[in-house]
Amino acid sequence: MATLPAGKREDVKQQKKHRRNFVKQLNKRSIHEDLEIKQLEEAIAAGAPASGSNSLSLPENNGDTSSSSYASARSFDDLPISEYTKEGLLASKYVTLTAIQRAALPHAIAGRDVLGAAKTGSGKTLTFLIPVVEKLYRLKWTRRDGLGGLILTPTRELALQIFEELRKIGKYHELSAGLLIGGKDVKEEQEAVSAMNILVATPGRLLQHMDETPGFDASGLQVLVLDEADRILDMGFSSTLDAILDNLPQSRQTLLFSATQTKSVKDLARLSLSNPEYLSVHSDATASTPLKLDQAYAVVPLQHKMDVVWGFIKSHLHAKTIVFLSTCKQVRFVHEAFRRLRPGVPLRALHGGMKQFKRMGVFYEFCEAKAMVLFATDIAARGLDFPTVDWVLQMDCPEDAHAYIHRVGRTARYMASGKALLLVTPGEKDGILEDLRASKIPIKQTKINPGIAHSVGPALQALLSKSTELKEYAQRSLIAYVRSVFLQPNKKVFDVTQLPAEEYAQSLGLITAPKLRFLKKVGKHVQSTNIGGRSADIEALLDYGSSPPSSGRAAMTSGRNELKNGITDDEPLKPQLPARLQISSRSEHIQPALRIMNKAADNAEHDEEEDDLFRVKVQDVFSDEVGAATTASTSFSHPATTTVMPRHEDDRPSAGDAEDSHLYTTAVTSYHQGLQNPVYRNALAAAGTSRTHQQYAGAGRKKIRIKAGKATGVRVVFDDGGEVLDPLALLASNTKFGSSYNGQATDDGSRDGVEEQGVYVVREIPNERFKCAADILRRRDLEDKARVKEQKLEERARKKARNIVVP
């Protein structure tokens, strides 16, 4: 028998030792778990609440241990759930149960089907995540058992958020979990997907796997969750959902949650719910919206909306605001136009037509921001848990009370307070208020303070006259808006014939309204439509590709689906929509998103225009390795490469990120002052070569030079009043520039800076904030480059046009 050299022998010895220790640990864990599972099973059997009961009505079990029921539990500790989950919850500082958790968790833990409805921001996510994780734990689910829990949710951002929450509470478990939210390369995911125990998915992508992934097997599924159930059950997702359900076993636990719940018998029959518990915890409440939400509406003619919103933004520069509009194109235009007018607060846009990379970047930026305005379609209306949103401003009327509730629910979440303002046109007022009041929404009228409404029309006209791109955006925005009004089902609220198109066009900076051709075609049902005094002939149906709907009604239904899905979300309806209405699902990524975003951005920043910056990377709940689950089934034979033991720490920056561990920011309160300071002369000289410098130095604006890791850049960040304009600066410092700062580290150690002659240096910024800032910086550079490129192309095209000689 051949003998190994001494060094090798030592290695083999070490490996064997590691493996023995590893197996020992596993055995220990396994014994402990067996014991715990037995106790949990007994506790659940003995203490489950009576079917049909609502635990909210039970008195608190003040330390009384004589009762075996856990129905009156007030804290997670009182529930029969595993130590691993409890540790995960504690690490996230979840201690006491919210109302929906008190009502629904005891039933769901007992394995019952649940239909849960509770106000926005009331903690529904944990209410379904805990039962999923616990059920699989009690069943001793291993990776080899395949898919055990499936969470379906309508939007990608929501899926990502749920996945993050799952990672937090599941980090001490040995379960694998993946996020499937659409992307380009299904093949790369295929192997890993089959090894996942829990999937958080949007319906379209999941169905794709069910259809195309050979080993994908959902026949062992234990728990199905439909978050935002009413949205998933509605028309837009129906065929996708039906196809998914066909692949799932009938004998499973099903949990449905939403802030606006369905009880449609037809829906429930489709889902084969068995004796579900209906738990609508706020149905008896006087309001269907959070109590700490202050709600008002103002009647504003369509042509004044831009002025009012501009005025609002200018007078809330320190607030974090979401502005909801009906369509992607409006969001794009309003964001782009206002951004160029530089109101003094960072502006961002979020809609389904954006590239996935940008979409996620904006999502995280807005989460991090202290003051920012996010223009969004209803893609941001459901479920997203942005921290500390101060205002929800609805520039366009929501489709109905449900849509309203979800939109305003982005503020006043959990214990926080918030404000919401709805702008309605005189024509929409009565109809929508009737709907809101019927849905128990306490909303009062307010008048717009004439002092805040600045006429922004002339400034927009000036902008549009200089930019054909912006002009086109404005025209498309107007068309999209009129179209959305036309497609709205509630004609009591939305009357396309009353829209003052010309005045509205002027308020957007256009000289005249563009042709509204789509209206021409809907018309067997509408013979002639008068929009703001302009008569539009009705010709044929909407241009829906080669197979037009057979009637105007069909066109409207189809278009409404677009409104609900194509415009506001891009995942569902792929099989239903004609090709030109589909928004391609493309790039993907997953958590920890910031880390991956930064890494991918480093590698791929020149490819931002490409669709697939990120692909879905299925990630283990507790493994550090992206895609580690591909080796999951071999974990026992390769202990060194697969993390099987619980991970006891959150994601920390790796050694390679050390360079990124601080953000160094130098700001000069004024360009000219800065020149007198020798310390910053070099930085400013470098800045002087930039386009930004040439553009702004003359205007006496202030500049900032930022060095973040390898990325450096120059940005104008203050308005003339000295207010911070740039999120980078906000990320870098909570302290307003100009305030005195003595250079000592603050209590939380987050800052170590000096302020001297208008110069401010920030160091030791927490890693996450830094990464976000660095990412913004990189992305902006790309955007700038793209813009310059576009301008050049435009200029070239113009020159060419001039050179054409007409014979």
Please report how close the Cβ of residue 102 comes to ligand ATP at its closest, in angstroms: 9
Q: What pairs with residue 665 in β-bridges?
A: 706, 762
Apex 607 CA angle, 602 and 610, nearest 5:
135
Give the residue with the Cβ less far from ligand ATP, 94 or 770: 94
Instruction: Select from 305-313, 334-342, 407-415, 659-667 the region that touches ligand ATP (CB under 6 A).
Output: 407-415
Which bin fits 2, alpha (ψ -120 to 50), beta or left (φ > 0)? beta
* Shorter beta-carbon distance to ligand ATP: residue 123 or 566: 123
- H or E element at residue 798: helix 767-803
- Angstrom distance (rounded) from CA 428 to CA 496: 11
Tokens of 106: 């005891």
In whole angstroms, give the CA distance from residue 107 to residue 131: 9
Place of tokens 């259809």: 211
Q: Is 282 in the site for ligand ATP (CB under 6 A)?
A: no
Does residue number 131 form part of the binding site for ligand ATP (CB under 6 A)?
A: no
Residue 704 touching ligand ATP (CB under 6 A):
no
* Nearest-approach distance from CB 321 to ligand ATP, in angstroms: 17
123 binds ligand ATP (CB under 6 A): yes
Identify which of residues 100 and 706 has a Cβ nearer to ligand ATP in the complex: 100
Instruction: Let me know if 301 is exposed, middle or buried by CB neighbors in 10 A (0-12, 13-18, 19+).
Output: middle
Dist CA 590 CA 181 (whole Å): 9
Query: Does 320 interact with ligand ATP (rule: CB under 6 A)?
Result: no
In a 10 Å sphere around its CB, with 0-12 CB exposed, 13-18 middle and 19+ buried, how is residue 392 labelled? Answer: buried
With contacts defined by CB under 6 A, name the span among 57-65, 94-102, 310-318, 793-801 that binds ligand ATP. Answer: 94-102
Among residues 70, 84, 94, 518, which is the contact residue for ligand ATP, using CB under 6 A? 94
Residue placing its CB nearer to ligand ATP in the complex, 119 or 138:
119
Nearer to ligand ATP, 120 or 598 (CB): 120
Two tokens, residue 95: 């201690």
Q: Which residue lies nearest ligand ATP, judged by its C-beta?
A: 123
Residue in 80, 106, 121, 627 binding ligand ATP, rule: CB under 6 A: 121
- Report in angstroms how near the CB of residue 406 gets to ligand ATP at its nearest: 7
- CB 481, min distance to ligand ATP, A: 26
> Can residue 141 be called a binding residue for ligand ATP (CB under 6 A)?
no
Q: CB of 671: closest distance to ligand ATP in angstroms?
A: 42
Residues 258 to 277 in contact with ligand ATP, rule: CB under 6 A: 259
Residue 413 binds to ligand ATP (criterion: CB under 6 A): yes
CB of 686 to ligand ATP, least distance (A): 42
**Spatial CA neighbour of 684 closest among 705, 661, 654:** 705
Which residues 367-406 are close enough to bind ligand ATP by CB under 6 A? 383, 385
Q: Which residue is it, tokens 């959990």? A: 414
- C-alpha–C-alpha distance, residues 702 and 654, integer Å: 35
Question: In angstroms, what is the minimal distance from the CB of 71 to ligand ATP?
Answer: 17
Minimum Å distance from CB 322 to ligand ATP?
A: 12
Interatomic CA distance for residues 613 and 243, integer angstroms: 29
Q: Which part of the chain contacts ligand ATP (CB under 6 A), choosing from 119-127, 144-152, 281-289, 571-579? A: 119-127
CB of residue 127 vs ligand ATP: minimum separation in angstroms? 7
The number of residues that bind ligand ATP (CB under 6 A) is 19
Shortest distance, position 65 Cβ to ligand ATP, whole Å:
22
CA atoms within a 13 Å half-sphere pointing along the CA-CB vector of 242: 11
If phi > 0 it is left, if psi is from -120 to 50 it is alpha, else beta; for residue 36 that is alpha
161 vs 576 by CB, closer to ligand ATP: 161
Tracing tokens 């609805």 back to the chain, one arrives at 394
Cα–Cα distance measured from residue 494 to residue 483, given in angstroms and rounded to the nearest whole number: 11
Nearer to ligand ATP, 130 or 729 (CB): 130
- 409 near ligand ATP (CB under 6 A): yes
Out of 72, 122, 475, 529, which residue is the one contacting ligand ATP (CB under 6 A)?
Answer: 122
Q: Which of 641, 611, 609 has its CA nearest to residue 625?
A: 641
- What is the radius of gyration, based on Cα positions, of the chain? 28
Distances (CA, A) of 701 to 263, 317, 734, 772: 58, 18, 21, 25
Segment 729-748, which members bind ligand ATP (CB under 6 A)? none
Question: What three-state secondary structure class fits 370?
Answer: coil
Among 44, 103, 105, 126, the residue binding ligand ATP under the rule CB under 6 A is 126
Please tell me whether residue 412 binds ligand ATP under the rule CB under 6 A: no
CB of 490 to ligand ATP, least distance (A): 23
Q: Which of 82, 98, 321, 585 binds ligand ATP (CB under 6 A)?
A: 98
398-432 as b/e: b if 16+ CB within 10 A: bbbbbbbbbbbbbbbbeeeebbbbbbbbebbbebb
- Which lies closer to ligand ATP via its Cβ, residue 166 or residue 485? 166
Q: Under a CB-based contact definition with an 8 Å cutoff, are residues 719 and 317 in contact?
A: no
Rounded distance between C-alpha atoms, residue 459 and residue 461, angstroms: 5
Q: Which is nearer to ligand ATP, 122 or 303 (CB)?
A: 122
Whose Cβ is closer to ligand ATP: residue 93's or residue 799's? 93
Residue closer to ligand ATP, measured from CB, 414 or 636: 414
Contact flag: residue 55 with ligand ATP (CB under 6 A): no
| 97 in contact with ligand ATP (CB under 6 A) | yes
Residue 81 in contact with ligand ATP, rule: CB under 6 A: no
Binder of ligand ATP out of 72, 82, 120, 665 (CB under 6 A): 120
Q: Which residues sit opposite 391 in a β-bridge?
A: 321, 419
8 Å CB contact between 71 and 53: yes
- Residue pair 409/290 in contact (Cβ under 8 Å)? The answer is yes
DSSP annotation of 406: H
Q: Is 414 in the site for ligand ATP (CB under 6 A)?
A: yes
Q: Strands 391-394 and 149-152: what pairing?
A: unpaired
Does 125 interact with ligand ATP (rule: CB under 6 A)?
yes
Contacts of 638 (CB under 8 A, 6+ apart): 631
- CA 457 – CA 459 distance, rounded (Å): 5
Summarize as ranges the residues that interact with ligand ATP (CB under 6 A). Answer: 94, 96-98, 101, 118, 120-126, 259, 383, 385, 409, 413-414
